[in-house]
Chain A
Amino acid sequence: MNNLKKNKIQIFSILLFLFLWQIISQYLINDPLILPTVSEVIKAFFELSSDIPIDLAVSLLHLSTGLFFALIIGIPIGALMGWYKNADQFFDPIIEMLRPIPPLAWIPFAIIWFGLSDYSAGFIIFIGALFPILTNTYTGFRNIPKRLVEAAKVLGCKKNINLIRHVALPSSFPYILSGIRISIGIGWMCVVAAEMFGLDNYGLGNVGVGNMLWQYYSLHMMDRVALYMLILGVMGLSMDRLLKYAEANLLKWKKGTNIRQI
């Protein structure tokens, strides 16, 4: 299928979705509290167009805080577990116990530890983003071809630290990257919950996409709630696309990398 035709189908699908939404909300439901119309949401967008960039910036700050700590903690632990059997056995029970706890269950402690701050929002996102990065790094390290490690040893790369740096990390880079992509997805989903408790660190009043979503819900302005939901969706999608694009570029050396979806 050529690109033009593919794009046409995609645009048609979006238009059809919006059209059905408009018809259903306007003629079947006819109650903006239950389902605002598309035109109301568009109107809300223009009303709030000066707020949205700030909300996005704040939410992205929370996301990157959480992601940053997930990276600097998840990658080393995953690497240690993948490389050293003892580290694997040591960390595994702890991680397997903490992993099933939903990130949202950490909210009370996040508030106690960090107060109503950007850090507590970042912390919730950190919890959500940590495990995909950690387990993917681990899987990457476990899948390093033994022969590559031996080839490196033969060429004078003998210390564990050098083997990790020159062989294990680059070899598991594809795994780590897809871990990061999953983490960003999950982290972005956590934004709403992480910002739910509201914070006011900037003297700007309530800010943040997730935060505003809750604010407008409490005011029963459902057109604005829907608007922020759409913003979450569009942002999540664009970040995912951006990462897939980056992945395809960074992993040129890997044959069979999935580039079809770009």
Chain B
Amino acid sequence: MYQLQLKNLSKTFKRNSKKLLVLDNINLNVKKSEFIAIVGPSGCGKTTLLRIIMGLEHPSKGSIKLDDKSIKEVSSALGMVFQEFSLFGWRTVLENVTFGLEMKKLGRKEQMKISEEYLKLVDLEDFKKHYPCELSGGMKQRVAVARALATNPEVLLMDEPFGALDEQTRNTLQTELIKIWKKTRKTVIFITHNIEEAIFLAQRIVILSKTPSTVNRIIENKLPYPRDKLAPDFIKLKCDITRHFYDGKDK
């Protein structure tokens, strides 16, 4: 019944014969089409956790299962949007989106059809011939989203994708992301250090503790979409979580 299962995940980094435990026994089950946000103090290993799920790093202990099959390396069933600077600068917007499809060896026509569809989804069809250096930060991240979705992964992993953007752009992209999620019904795991962002987006919020990270608490967020950041319920939830969040940090 769960699409993605993380079981007893631990990660130890070795540096100069010193061992540093970053993730300590993380368990998480994710349902299909669920929107999960993972929050935690900076440096707590959120990104490491996401990279392990993606297969870019290996866990020291534990396992990851997608539809009951364990993931040991990078899999096309998972897509990822990085924090920033992940676009191929020498490729146009369109060519960035076709990259994954070229790797899948799809025909040229099909590549174009799919890419244009996703560029339309992120509202960038007018910029398909531009190079990334000609785009604003928000537009770049939209391209990154379109590129990740184009290969049709089952789960979309997002590593603080809007972290480097200004407030206004971030708000717009958050709203758009919800629309895209509703439309595509992808499972999303979204990492952020911004509690408000997590409440605005996610159905469940996983709060990690300070290093070594454990799952401090998982909070169900039943607020109806589209959410209003200024609604009393929203603010109340934000206060509750902020308390837990800082509790976790102080322990």
Contact = CB atoms under 8 A, between A and B. Distances in A.
B131 A157 contact: no
Interface of A: 145, 147-148, 150-158, 162, 166-167, 170-171, 173, 252-255
A33 to B, nearest CB: 55
Contact of B133 (A157, A158, A171, A254): A254
Given A156-B151, A252-B131, A170 B90 contact: yes
A168 B79 CA distance: 21
Contacts of B73: 158
Contacts, number: 63
A253 B133 contact: yes
A147 B79 contact: no
Given A156-B76, A158-B74, A151 B86 contact: yes
A255 B87 CA distance: 14
A148 B90 contact: no
Q: How large is the interface on B (under 10, 10 to 19, 20 to 34, 35 or more residues)?
A: 20 to 34
A141 to B, nearest CB: 15
B174 to A, nearest CB: 22
Main secondary structure, interface of A, reads helix
Contact of A150 (B79, B82, B132): B82
Contacts of A254: 89-90, 133
B103 interface: yes
B235 interface: no
A203 B99 CA distance: 54
B127 interface: no
B103 A155 contact: yes
Nearest to A155: B100
B22 interface: no
Interface string B85-109: 1111111000000011011100000
B103 A154 contact: no
6 contacts: A152-B88, A156-B76, A156-B100, A162-B103, A166-B103, A254-B90
A147 B91 CA distance: 16
B79 A154 contact: yes
Given A154-B148, A156-B151, A253-B90, 8 more contacts: A145-B85, A147-B85, A151-B88, A154-B56, A162-B103, A253-B91, A253-B131, A254-B90
A166 B90 CA distance: 10
B140 interface: no
Contacts of B54: 154
B80 A154 contact: yes
A148 to B, nearest CB: 6
A82 to B, nearest CB: 17
Contacts of A153: 56, 74
A1 B79 CA distance: 50
* Nearest 9 CB-CB pairings of A with B: A155-B100, A156-B103, A255-B133, A253-B131, A151-B86, A170-B90, A154-B80, A253-B90, A157-B103
A139 B79 CA distance: 30
Contacts of A253: 89-91, 131-133
Interface in B96-137: 99-100, 102-104, 131-133
